[in-house]
Amino acid sequence: MTDFFKPIFSKKSKLNIDQLIIKKTVISFFFFFVFAGVAFWGWKRLRHQTISAQGTRPLLRNVLNANESIFSLLLSDKHLAKTYPASEAAANVRVNGYEGLKTKLDSSGWRLNVIRKNGDTLSLTMDDIKKLPKTDVIFNFKCIEGWNQITHWAGVKFTDFAKAYGLNDEIAMKYIGLVTPDRGYYVGIDMPSILHPQTILCYEMNGQPLPLNQGYPLRLIIPVKYGIKHLKRIGTMYFDNKRPPDYWYERGYDYFSGL
C-alpha cells in the first residue's frame, strides 16, 4: 500500500499510470476546494454588504479598484488604439445615452468653461477651439453594453489644447472632470488618459459638425476608454487631485473604464 502511495508526492520517483491519475485527482480536488472556499467567502462577505456611496458593494468596488491599478500600469503614450482608414468608418453612427442632452442647447450662448487651478475660469467659444490644430481619429468605439463600431471623429488633441492655453499646473493634477452644461452627465478621468495622444476635444464626425445627439458643439473622444467616458456636449472642465464625481461610477461601474 505505502509503496503505491508514498512515491506519488515525492518529486524523485517515476509514477505509473494509476499513480499519475491519483496525483492529478488529488491536485484537482485541492484547487476545487480552494476556489470553492474563496467563492463561498466572497458570497458570504457580499451578502452582508450593502450598496455604498461608491455605487456598489465594497468588496466588488475593491476588486474594480485593484483592476484599475493593474490596467493603469499598461496605459502608455506608446500604446495606441488601433486606427482604421476613413473608408471603414460607419456612415450611420449609433446614438447612445441622452443624459445631460435633455435640456435645449443654447447654441449661441454655449462656451467651454475651463476652471483653472487658481479658480479663474477661461470661457472659450467654438471659434477659439477650431483655431487650434485639427486631428482626425478613426477607431473602434466600444460601449460596455456590448456593441462596437468603427467611427471617424475630428477635433483638437487635448494635449495641443492644454499647451495652447498654458494649462501646465492643471495637467500636473491627477484627474480632470467634465460636465454637461445642465450638469446632467459628468465624468472623471485620470490625467494620463486625457493626455494620451489619441484623446481629442471633438467637434466633427465624418467630416461634418457633430449632430446634436452626438454632443454638438463639443464632446470628448478618448479611445483608451469605454464609451461611458466619451462625454457629449461638454460645458465645463475642471481639475482635481481627488476623483471627480462620475455618473456611471455612482451607478456601480468601474471608475477607470479603460480598454
Among 227, 235, 244, 258, binds Mo ion (CB under 5 A): 227
For residue 81, state whether it binds Mo ion (rule: CB under 5 A).
Answer: no
- Which CB, 68 or 99, lies closer to ligand MTE? 99
For residue 100, state whether it binds Mo ion (rule: CB under 5 A).
Answer: no
Cβ neighbours of residue 216 under 8 Å, at least 6 residues apart? 105, 203, 209, 210, 233
Q: Are strands 112-115 and 121-124 parallel, antiparallel or unpaired?
A: antiparallel
What is the Cα–Cα distance from 251 to 60, expressed in whole angstroms?
A: 13
Query: Site for ligand MTE (CB under 6 A): how many residues?
Result: 18
Restricted to residues 83-102, the positions that interact with ligand MTE (CB under 6 A) are 94-101
- Which CB, 99 or 128, lies closer to ligand MTE? 99
Cβ neighbours of residue 204 under 8 Å, at least 6 residues apart? 153, 154, 155, 210
Interface pattern 186-205 for ligand MTE (x via CB under 6 A) = --------------------
Query: Site for Mo ion (CB under 5 A): how many residues?
Result: 3
What is the Cα–Cα distance from 216 to 207, expressed in whole angstroms?
A: 13
For residue 57, state whether it binds ligand MTE (rule: CB under 6 A).
Answer: no
Q: Which residue is nearest to ligand MTE (CB)?
A: 97
Q: Are 244 and 177 in contact (CB under 8 A)?
A: yes
Tell the smallest beta-carbon distance from residue 48 to ligand MTE (Å).
Answer: 31
Cβ neighbours of residue 151 under 8 Å, at least 6 residues apart? 89, 90, 93, 138, 139, 140, 141, 205
The CA-based diameter of the chain, rounded to the nearest angstrom, is 90
Interface pattern 211-240 for ligand MTE (x via CB under 6 A) = ---x------------xx-xxxx-------
Q: Residue numbers of the site for ligand MTE (CB under 6 A)?
A: 94-101, 143, 180, 185, 214, 227-228, 230-233
